[in-house]
Amino acid sequence: MSTLKKVVWPQIILFGDSITQFAFQANGWGCEISHKLERKCDVVNRGLSGYNTRWAKIVLPRIVPISDAPIAAVTVFFGANDCALEDKNPAQHVHLQEFSENLKDIVRYLVSIGVSSDKIIFITPPPLQESAWEKECLLKGSALNRLNSVAGQYAQACVQAAGQSGVDVLDLWTLMQKDGQDFSVYLSDGLHLSNKGNQFVAEHLWTLLERRVADLPFILPYWGDVDPKCPESSLLCD
């Protein structure tokens, strides 16, 4: 009996901090992307709450590649922890220049394992709503440990690193504040995404992902195309 050829789902890997880890909660941006790509590829969550790029760079070779499945795209979504103020949150803080170099090192590693730069998308940290986040900090017994202006510096560094690495970038920090709009509606606690923020990320990310996945075929036949008299002829063909 001949060995059956396994069906392999391509993968989109979401690599980031808590904003990625939470992307598969109800109404999360990862859920929306996954829904759009049903029966075309697996959307894999590799979000690590609290992580910065220093730690991400270290663990990346341990978690990617996930398998032998082809990688259709990788999102790299860090900065919200790197930009923590050094004097208030030294454990998570990463200096701006190191942040930029870490992002470029992440690209170098991905390229070294066969993920071409045109499949990599950086996502900048979103803006920070300081008064809301300060309340969260106070509840945990600490002072405000992030500033929107500093988050903006890290967002700009992310944009610049993307350009230097030849990868696409979704600049959330700028887009969410475009034309002076009230960006607080995109945030649940001043830092993490609200339902509206998740929708915003999903919509804008899809504009960058769509062309990368446009040629992915529908995996396995549509049920109406299966020959009921001889299903093997439909289901076991390449």
Catalytic residue set: 18, 189, 192
Residue type (1 letter), 19 = I
Max intra-chain CA distance, the chain: 71
Closest listed residue to residue 83, CA positions, set 137, 28, 138, 155:
155
Closest listed residue to residue 43, CA positions, set 28, 60, 57, 59:
28
**Token pair of 220 as six digits:** 């396995």
The residues near 78 (Cβ < 8 Å, ≥ 6 apart) are: 16, 17, 51, 52, 53, 56, 99, 102, 103, 125, 158
- DSSP-assigned beta bridge partners for residue 55: none
CA distances from 169 to 38, 77, 120, 147 (A): 24, 10, 9, 22
The SS3 assignment for 170 reads strand
Q: Are 74 and 42 in contact (CB under 8 A)?
A: no
Q: Where are the alpha helices (DSSP H) in the chain?
A: 18-21, 29-36, 53-63, 96-112, 130-139, 148-165, 172-175, 195-213, 231-235
- Which helix (H) or strand (E) segment is 45 a member of? strand 42-47
